[in-house]
Amino acid sequence: MTDEDGTTDEDGHFGERVAARYDETSADMFAPGAVDPAVDLLAGLAGRGRALELGIGTGRIALPLARRGVPVHGIDMSRAMTARLHAKPGGDGVGSTIGDFATTRVPGSFTLVYLVFNTINNLTTQEAQVDCFRNAAAHLEPGGSFVIEVGVPELRLLPPGQNAVPFRIGPGGWAFDTYDTVTQAMSSHYVTLVDGVAEHRVFPFRYVWPSELDLMARLAGLRLTHRWEGWSREPFTHESRGHVSVWTKPAA
């Protein structure tokens, strides 16, 4: 079954229509300046072990990480996204499993589990985010690391009485986020103008605070070992708009 925005029930919000243009619309995130520092850090944490990516998508991080000699497997709900991963050079060497990365298990254990580019927010309930930490911990070897890259909720940008924050405005359309500060639900809205006709797409998320993530980690038996503003390990401060956090599973 396909809904009006071209996605499928099976693929959720990342069906064929989104997958076909994902690399193009996220081109900045595929640039070496965005990819290389992430791969450097992740390769160091993986060491000689295996890595599991939650929400592997089209392989933006998995493929260069595999080229560094790290065996990578991924879990993703979208067959359309992973099909593009496997069609790329080297994609046949990266394994993938279709499923909900909060609960889907794959064989074996890993020295590294990672989740990048705000993908934790694709889990739209606190329960699912807690399950994700438990799933990551279950896949980790003792001493292994779970890494998340995610933004800090920008609620300070909300004036009193307003629940929307624009983040892209241009002649071809605009985009904005809406927030519910009671439930922590948020949605990213993309309005695109094509031949004078407006198309509106919505992606639901749940924003999450760093301290909340730390509590989820503790519930899963993990402990925070590092938190930086970004992949280049800049200090995390009260002005940081995002963070890369590392939690470790205690050694046996």
Query: What element of type H or E holds 41?
Result: helix 32-46
pLDDT per 10-residue tile (average), the chain, 252 residues = 34 69 71 95 98 95 97 96 94 96 97 96 97 98 98 92 91 92 94 88 94 98 98 97 98 84
Residue 4, pLDDT score: 30
Q: Identify the sign of the CA torsion 149, 155, 158, 162.
A: positive
- Residues in the chain, how many? 252
| pLDDT value of position 196 | 84
Report the CATH fold assignment for 16-153+208-248. Rossmann fold (3.40.50)
Please state whether beta strands 72-76 and 110-115 pair in parallel, antiparallel, or not at all (unpaired).
unpaired
- Residue 62, pLDDT score: 97
Does residue 3 sit in helix, strand or coil? coil
The neighbouring-strand residues paired with 148 are 115, 245
Kindly give, in sequence order, each residue whose CB lies less than 8 Å from that of residue 34, ignoring residues fewer than 6 positions away: 28
Which parts of 79-193 fold into alpha helices (H)?
A: 79-87, 126-139
For position 25, what pLDDT does the model report? Answer: 66
- 111 in Cβ contact with 90 (< 8 Å): no
- Per-residue DSSP letter, 120: G
Q: What is the pLDDT of residue 11?
A: 61
CA distance 205 to 203: 7
pLDDT at 16: 74
Alpha carbon of residue 238 to chain centroid = 22
Q: How far apart are CA 156 and CA 147, in angstroms?
A: 26
**Tokens standing for residue 133:** 């930490």
pTM for the structure as a whole = 0.89
Which residue type is seen at 155? L
Q: Collapsing DSSP states into helix, strand and coil, what is residue 150?
A: strand
